[in-house]
Amino acid sequence: MASAFHSALLADLEQDIDRFTASLLALAERLGLALEGLEADHISLRCHQNTTAERWKTGLKSCGKMFSENMINGRPICLFALDRPLQIGPLQIDVVELPWPGNKRYPHEGWEHIEIVLRGDPETVAARALSMMSDEGLSQQGISVKTSSPQGENERLPNPTLAVSDGQTTIKFHPWSLKEIVASEQR
């Protein structure tokens, strides 16, 4: 598949795709999680400097359309619908989430997590996500499981999230796509 990126401003992200894909596939295998057939909503970035976030924002605008810029947990987060999806293992992902740096320092600048939509009752999203993974995988050393309910200022849909991470790569599960969340803000 041809690259989704045609901007020199995103050369570092282009180079980071293979590392992220290998890390994601290894995490999914450790967890016993089959990625095939899942509804991949978006892929998210992490960076340490505002100048990096601004550069990525400019580059992503040339490869798609920014459809949201919102303050969440005290920092700007931009969402982009790519003109051409990214191929991440068996998943095609056409939405990129770009948060500005926050208080947490991530071990790597670049791609950090994907989010999967598990449609159904928001209150059961964590249980449904956990049932897709093996107990052995979830109990391995270095695997963390965290629940949260991030919410933007005008969001009307409950968006509980389950995050499973090995400390470098994270897979998150939630009941709505980002496009649905953004649309709920317009009502």
Residue 145 has a pLDDT of 96
In a domain, 109, yes or no: yes
> Can you give the pLDDT at residue 154?
56
Tens digits of per-residue pLDDT, 106-135? 667 999 999 999 999 999 999 999 999 999
Nearest to 91 by CA among 150, 163, 159, 171: 171
Q: Is residue 60 part of a domain?
A: yes
- Domain assignment present for residue 148? The answer is yes
The answer to whether residue 29 sits within a structural domain is yes
> Domain for residue 3, yes or no?
no
**Low-confidence spans in the chain with pLDDT less than 50:** 1-2
Residue 1, domain member (yes or no): no
pLDDT at 61: 96
pTM greater than the 0.95 cutoff: no
Please indicate, yes or no, if residue 73 is contained in any of the structural domains: yes
Residue 61, domain CATH: 3.10.180.10
Q: What is the pLDDT of residue 181?
A: 85
Q: List, in order, residues 6 or more apart from 69 with CB less than 8 Å away.
A: 76, 77, 78, 79
Whether residue 2 is contained in a domain is answered as no
How many structural domains compose the chain? Answer: 1
Residue 152's nearest CA partner among 97, 96, 73, 99 is: 73
Q: Give strand ranges (E) for 47-174.
A: 64-72, 75-88, 91-99, 110-117, 144-148, 161-165, 170-174
- Residue 139 lies in domain: 8-185
